[in-house]
Structure 1
Amino acid sequence: MSERHKSNAPSGGGPRPGFGPGGGGMMGMPVQKAKDAKSAMKRLLGYLKQRQGQLLIVLLAAVLSTVFGIVSPKIMGRVTTILFEGAMAKMKGLNVAIDFDEIGRILLLLIGLYVLSALFTFIQQYIVAGVAQRIVFSLRKDVQDKLSRLPLKYFDSRTHGEILSRATNDVDNIGNTLQQVLAQLISSLVLLVGVIVMMLTISPLLTLITIITLPLSILVTKNVAGRSQKYFAAQQKTLGQLNGHVEEMYGGHTIVKAFGHERKSVETFNGINEKLYDAGWRAQFVSGIIMPLMMFVGNIGYVLVCVVGGIFVTRQAITIGDVQAFIQYSQQFTMPITQVANIANLIQSALASAERVFELLDETEEVPETDKAAVSGRPEGHVAFRDVSFGYKPDAPLIEGMSIDIAPGQTVAIVGPTGAGKTTLVNLLMRFYEISGGAISIDGTDIRELQRSRLRSMFGMVLQDTWLFNGTIRDNIAYGRDGATEEDIVQAAKAAYADHFIRTLPDGYNTVLNEEASNLSQGQKQLLTIARAILADPAILILDEATSSVDTRTEAHIQKAMTDLMKGRTSFVIAHRLSTIRDADLILVMNHGRVIEQGNHEQLLTLNGFYSDLYNSQFTGAKQKQDAG
């Protein structure tokens, strides 16, 4: 895992408010291991059991394919023996003809065996590919279904990269591994057993000589792989540092150029790159000598087999054809062992990925909806908090005993210092988080008795942090309501004072926004989200610092549009600039998770309390700036 990836891991801190490849096949390459491999394997086998009929066919095809391939050298040895005996007879002056008819029949048999072996290999690979993709499909579906049932708390406490990695990279790694392992593992095991059996039928002594070289191969591989792992680990760590530096420099290239740090950036890159080069070539060199060393050990066994086999032929203990077949078997003997070693690495990597996926699937889900969830018509907007308690952590309550009564059509402003619980209040209202005590009701119905989809459809939101997707401006505005017409979209844009700037763009409403919508200014993006909320025509509005990113003149236009939009609707306005909420019907002043004052603007100023201090501090500061100017 790179350093960059490590930095994306969950920090373990308290949750924030809601608005706010596989591989390992190379020998010597370090492999991420599962913490509880046995449990991960057991659950992964559960997915495989769903395809056990197909897996039995794969097993049968692998056995037949391997068997047909294994017996071929033995039969081919018969051809060599016939030719050798015929040649020896002629050398002795005997009038013995070589039986080419027999050779022809054997060659035809061999062709048939090779064709059948290839056919069953094709069947095996075809079915394995289907099984692997079906399992990946099932895993993806389970992950997608699970993500839709997880509470907002889960997403708030983890980075997006961490969640996406489990849903994509880890599932891909499992699928790729299954596709390789299911075919190779069965074939390798069958091949290993078959080769040993065939070698024993030819000569137990030669078999013993071949097997003696096996511990030497394992010893060499283990020692070299152990040395290479530290270099691979250093390579991955340095690669993470390099990726992090490049991403950081390109992400902030404007600042780098503005402060003249290009040379320093290049020097840092070159330093990290040199370290990567050093670790990389050492890792590749050390791991690269594994195969030559194994070939060297294999050649020792090959020489011994040839010498001892030749002696046996001279003593007529075995035929020369059997020696030829045995040599082929001895060369095949190490291949399945090497494959199984690589497969073991792949399996470890897949189990680590499976464990991460299963951790996601085991996460606590949202509180299930009641069997008879209430479904009401268009709400009037009477919202009530009755003795509500909540905390992001059980041992750290944020809101205790909150009671608020909001009449239909009222505009409610929520003010207070950072961390007072303003956004949390809205999270609870939309049931992004579950309250730990009390009740929240809309028109007398407890929101826990409403379908979540129905509850959230009552609200329209404009947040401080804009969210626009990769698509046209038209599509982004139309996201607020299904089936919106062109006229509806344009009217919403005009109401949000966005129509003018949209028409000045080269493609107007067809302008495509990039992934981060960086081809628009922050204020323009905010106007589009406001237009989206206007188009949605919700029963209840939530405005979280909706005008914080626009200029004063545009803010005045938006405030007028919002005033028109909020008529007849219950509206919640979270604001720091108190000048924008003076006309609110009710102002809730929050601090440390509690509503400490409530009333309209004049009433709260008369109290000469917390709100009055906040309000006066803002305008005193503004006046001092004007006087200084």
Structure 2
Amino acid sequence: MNNKKTGLRILKYIRKYVGLLFVSIITASLSVALSLYVPILGGKAIDCIVGKNKVQFDNVYIYCFRILLVCIASGILQWIMSTINNNITYNVTRDIRRDAYEKIQKVPLKMLDSKSTGDTVSRIIADVDQFADGLLLGFSNLFTGVVSIIFTLIFMISISLKITLVVVVLTPISFFVASFIAKNTHKFFTEQSVTRGELTGNLEEAIANQKLVTAYSKQKDMIDEFDEINQSLSESSLRALFYSSLVNPSTRFVNSLVYAFVAMIAGMSVIKGNVTVGGLTSFLSYAKQYTKPFNEISGVITELQNSLVCASRVFELIDEEYEKETGEKTLDINSLNGDVCINDVAFSYTDDKEFIKNFNIDVKRGQRVAIIGPTGCGKTTIINLLMRFYDIKDGKISIDNVDSREYTRESVRSGFGMVLQDTWLKEGTIRDNIIVGKPDATDEEVIEAAKKSHCHNFIMRLPDGYDTYIKEDGGSLSAGQKQLLCISRIMLAVPPMLILDEATSVVDTRTEIKVQEAFAKLMEGRTSFIVAHRLSTIRNADIIVAMKDGKVVECGNHDELLEKRGMYYEMYNSR
């Protein structure tokens, strides 16, 4: 049932290219018809040289010339068919990859957080490649195989209906043998595909964190873990290959028996005078040709098992639910006041364990809110809820006295400028990375933003300045330089509200002081949320929220919290 559903999904993608598919079928039919016409011409040529002293060389030459022309025409048609099949296959795989990538951009973050990055990448790259191989083989061999069977039957019937019936009755045995083996190999291909995803995830993790692996001398542990998964993939691949490889020899054995039996019956027909020697030659050629497509189709079935498994994994990703849009209003950032009220908010990552409970805070326009607390207390979670990366379970988050869920997610996020502890740089120039939030920025604006974030000087020391091309991980840039570039985006876009999550965590102290001064100017008149472990960076905040275990323990300004001698007091004096 699962294979049937997957197959129907594939047909929906192929439907866009039905015109090319029709041309492919026509060229396949003509190519097969011409190639099957060759034995007829060969049989007639043989009949011209069978009788004693009756060799007709003129006719033999004519038939040989016709065979040459037919072979050339068949070859050209086969080339056209292969080109069209490649075109259909790679267009379909392109469409599937695009849909899968688009889905990743629109699914809730909790879905991506719950899956291995390597497995997701494996589905879009490796699984689609495997699917493409099977689809191409299906187009190339399945169409020609079916058409070949039909035309071979027609040609064999024209020679002898009786012997054709014998062939028709016996040959499908090989097809049933192939189908039986293919059904039992499906689980092995599934295991192989899943393990391949695990291996991709392991590789992605190892390569992305190679510095940490080396720093902690964990190379041997990583190699052992890789070897374990690699061994598992090797075993599952061998099992899948072993059982699938039984198809071809099994069908060939059955077909050889059929061929021998048919040859015996056809030979007796020649002795009785019912069939000519040339006709016998043609018929035996067709009998062999008739069994060949069954071998090819059986091979296609085996490959399609693997392709369907890979396709189902990709469709599983494509079928993930979109991030649900709860509101239709658009937040006008030009008239945004910036009042944010978090009222009795509750949230949990899993249904069985509550995390944020009864969170309350009222922020007025232009106020700076600092959120502090031990690791895992929920600081970043609050930021995620403000940005609507996750939706709250209960309570309400209001922006200018309107529930944020009444606004579209995109418009809510456009109201915030965000700098995270984890930097993100895309492949492109330095300028491309700075103008992410304001694509139409002028060169003067870009340079001014870079100066405010104190990264103009190091940019100018790069080989091509602002036109220096970097990879997605920032290349040779230091962690501090990467973060300064991310800060430049905020300095350029100048959003109405700010979120700074450890925004200067990897910047040196001197640069941090300068960046904090720039931030102070930027935050004037703008509602700002600051997450920081360095208490010195937040003492000037209007509101300091101390969190513990998902709850607000204390709330007030620096002086008020010191007077309470509570959690903030202990954290401040333990520096």
CA pair 240-307 structure 1, distance change in 2 beyond 3 A: same
Question: Are the aligned partners of 1:242 and 1:272 in contact in 2 as well (CA < 8 Å)?
Answer: no
Structure 1 segment 486-497 matched on structure 2, within 5 A: 486-497=443-454
What is the deviation of 1:73? 0.7
The equivalent position to 1:155 in structure 2, one of 99, 106, 112, is 112
CA deviation map 1:40-78 (0-9, x unaligned): 222223333444455444334433332332233123201
CA pair 421-456 structure 1, distance change in 2 beyond 3 A: same
Q: Counterpart in 2 of 1:66?
A: 32
Whole-Å separation in 2 of the counterparts to 1:412 and 1:162: 38
CA pair 585-224 structure 1, distance change in 2 beyond 3 A: closer
Q: Counterpart in 2 of 1:544?
A: 501
Whole-Å separation in 2 of the counterparts to 1:611 and 1:564: 26
CA pair 239-327 structure 1, distance change in 2 beyond 3 A: farther
Larger mean CA deviation between 244-253 and 332-341 belongs to 244-253
What is the deviation of 1:188? 0.5
Question: Are the aligned partners of 2:148 and 2:293 in contact in 1 as well (CA < 8 Å)?
Answer: yes
Whole-Å separation in 1 of the counterparts to 2:90 and 2:154: 35
CA pair 486-377 structure 1, distance change in 2 beyond 3 A: closer
Are 2:428 and 1:462 equivalent residues in the alignment?
A: no
The equivalent position to 2:362 in structure 1, one of 396, 405, 421, is 405
Are 2:520 and 1:533 equivalent residues in the alignment?
A: no
Whole-Å separation in 2 of the counterparts to 1:161 and 1:413: 35
Q: Counterpart in 2 of 1:188?
A: 145
TM-score with structure 2 length normalisation?
0.83
Structure 1 segment 510-589 matched on structure 2, within 5 A: 510-589=467-546
What is the deviation of 1:368? 2.4
CA pair 323-273 structure 1, distance change in 2 beyond 3 A: same
What one-letter code is carried by the residue in structure 2 that aligns with 1:73?
P
What one-letter code is carried by the residue in structure 2 that aligns with 1:80?
I
CA deviation map 1:235-265 (0-9, x unaligned): 9989988996899599648965996989x99
Larger mean CA deviation between 397-406 and 508-517 belongs to 508-517
Question: Are the aligned partners of 1:375 and 1:451 in contact in 2 as well (CA < 8 Å)?
Answer: no
The equivalent position to 1:390 in structure 2, one of 329, 347, 351, is 347
Whole-Å separation in 1 of the counterparts to 2:130 and 2:157: 39
Structure 1 residues not aligned, in runs of 5+: 1-34, 91-95, 620-629
What one-letter code is carried by the residue in structure 1 that aligns with 2:312?
E
Whole-Å separation in 2 of the counterparts to 1:593 and 1:117: 73
SS in 2 for 1:418: coil
Whole-Å separation in 2 of the counterparts to 1:584 and 1:234: 55
CA pair 356-403 structure 1, distance change in 2 beyond 3 A: same
Are 2:8 and 1:42 equivalent residues in the alignment?
A: yes
Q: Counterpart in 1 of 2:41?
A: 75
SS in 2 for 1:347: helix
What one-letter code is carried by the residue in structure 2 that aligns with 1:316?
G
Higher relative CO (CA 8 A, sep ≥ 6), structure 1 or 2?
A: 1
SS in 1 for 2:417: strand
Structure 1 segment 309-328 matched on structure 2, within 5 A: 309=266, 312-328=269-285
What is the deviation of 1:593? 1.9
Whole-Å separation in 2 of the counterparts to 1:239 and 1:371: 38
Are 2:323 and 1:366 equivalent residues in the alignment?
A: yes
Question: Are the aligned partners of 1:249 and 1:256 in contact in 2 as well (CA < 8 Å)?
Answer: no
CA pair 504-129 structure 1, distance change in 2 beyond 3 A: closer
CA pair 265-348 structure 1, distance change in 2 beyond 3 A: closer
Whole-Å separation in 2 of the counterparts to 1:75 and 1:513: 65
CA deviation map 1:171-206 (0-9, x unaligned): 444444333313421211221243345345545458
Structure 1 segment 271-420 matched on structure 2, within 5 A: 309=266, 312-368=269-325, 370-375=327-332, 377-420=334-377
Are 2:439 and 1:471 equivalent residues in the alignment?
A: no
CA pair 541-415 structure 1, distance change in 2 beyond 3 A: same
CA pair 256-529 structure 1, distance change in 2 beyond 3 A: closer
SS in 2 for 1:466: coil
Larger mean CA deviation between 469-478 and 368-377 belongs to 368-377
Question: Are the aligned partners of 1:430 and 1:456 in contact in 2 as well (CA < 8 Å)?
Answer: yes
SS in 1 for 2:50: helix
CA pair 277-160 structure 1, distance change in 2 beyond 3 A: closer
What one-letter code is carried by the residue in structure 2 that aligns with 1:36?
N
Whole-Å separation in 2 of the counterparts to 1:237 and 1:515: 27
CA pair 494-392 structure 1, distance change in 2 beyond 3 A: same
Q: Counterpart in 2 of 1:142?
A: 99
Whole-Å separation in 1 of the counterparts to 2:426 and 2:457: 21
What is the deviation of 1:481? 2.0
Larger mean CA deviation between 404-413 and 265-274 belongs to 265-274
CA pair 247-185 structure 1, distance change in 2 beyond 3 A: same
Whole-Å separation in 2 of the counterparts to 1:243 and 1:144: 17
SS in 2 for 1:84: coil
Larger mean CA deviation between 536-545 and 326-335 belongs to 326-335
What is the deviation of 1:313? 3.7
Question: Are the aligned partners of 2:460 and 2:466 in contact in 1 as well (CA < 8 Å)?
Answer: yes
Q: Counterpart in 1 of 2:570?
A: 613
Are 2:136 and 1:167 equivalent residues in the alignment?
A: no
CA deviation map 1:277-327 (0-9, x unaligned): 999999999998987887777667666666665555444342111122123
What is the deviation of 1:609? 1.6
What one-letter code is carried by the residue in structure 1 that aligns with 2:276?
T
Whole-Å separation in 2 of the counterparts to 1:250 and 1:159: 13
Larger mean CA deviation between 419-428 and 214-223 belongs to 214-223
Question: Are the aligned partners of 2:42 and 2:63 in contact in 1 as well (CA < 8 Å)?
Answer: yes
Give % identity: 36
CA deviation map 1:456-475 (0-9, x unaligned): 22211111111122233333
Structure 2 residues not aligned, in runs of 5+: none
